[in-house]
Amino acid sequence: MNKFSRMIDVLDLFSEEDSLLTAEDIAARLQLSRTTAFRYVKELNAVGFLANYSGRYSLGARIITLDYRIRQSDPVLGAARPIMKQLTAETGCSAILCRMYNDEVINVYDEPGYIDPNLNVSSRGIPLPLFRGSASKVMLANLPARRLKRIYDNHRDDDDVRAQGPEWAAFKAYYARIRQTGHYISHHELDPHTVGIGAPITVPSIGAVGVISLVFSSDRLAMLNTDGLASRVKELSAQVGCGLGILGEKAGLP
């Protein structure tokens, strides 16, 4: 593993529970020498990715700057944001945009609705359970088979994976059905009172680059036409994908 990857591993150590770490803590957790750990934190501190508090380190303000730049420049978010505002205005429900990084599905933007102002929606930046919920399942369903197989191999002992398919063929078929349907409706998979309807943002020549999910309280399920909502989520997600077609062209893809 190269130096850059190891320095990213340092940043990944920080969490709500571990907001301050010493170089010795980092060395022990990553099985690095103390000299290497001190060099990494010194370099990360120098460029603002870490902040030094008398030998204890936290994530630095440079990350906040990068987050702002992402929100202003991410082409997928830029294309999806007005469509999500339209979707919440039409339905009153909340909408979230999720993308996949490595093997994590992450909420990168949420547009609150007005029907359920107190709805419990995962905050921006928090990874979702990989095998539960409309966003994660739609994202997995639209991965290339080779990547889905690798994820299955890495998580085959997970209870959610076993429930979806105890063997690769059954697991693959489970997600093939979701992909063929074009959307997925989750009931109480992430929260006992929440329903989600997700559809992929698919860019020509690239594939799925994200998922838009409409989220609402299960208390309103009897008053809403879920099939109609699913069709609308699919329609608007496809509209975002078509608007991003230039990404495939700029990449020189056929």
CATH code at 58? Answer: 1.10.10.10
My answer on whether 119 and 54 are in the same domain is no
My answer on whether 107 and 230 are in the same domain is yes
Tell whether the model's pLDDT for residue 39 goes beyond 90: yes
Amino acid present at 218? S
Q: Where are the alpha helices (DSSP H) in the chain?
A: 3-12, 23-30, 34-46, 61-73, 75-91, 134-141, 145-155, 159-164, 168-181, 226-243, 245-250
Say which DSSP state 18 is in. -
Where in the sequence is the domain holding 47, given as residue range(s)?
Answer: 3-65
My answer on whether 61 and 78 are in the same domain is no
Out of 13, 37, 65, a domain closes at: 65
The total of structural domains in the chain comes to: 2
Give the pLDDT band (50/70/90) at residue 219: confident
Give the pLDDT band (50/70/90) at residue 253: very low
pLDDT in tens, 172-209: 999 999 999 999 999 989 888 899 999 999 998 889 99
My answer on whether 176 and 50 are in the same domain is no
Q: What is the CATH number of the domain that holds 236?
A: 3.30.450.40
CA angle 16, 22, 27 (to 5 degrees): 105
My answer on whether 60 and 115 are in the same domain is no
The reported pTM is 0.85
My answer on whether 238 and 136 are in the same domain is yes
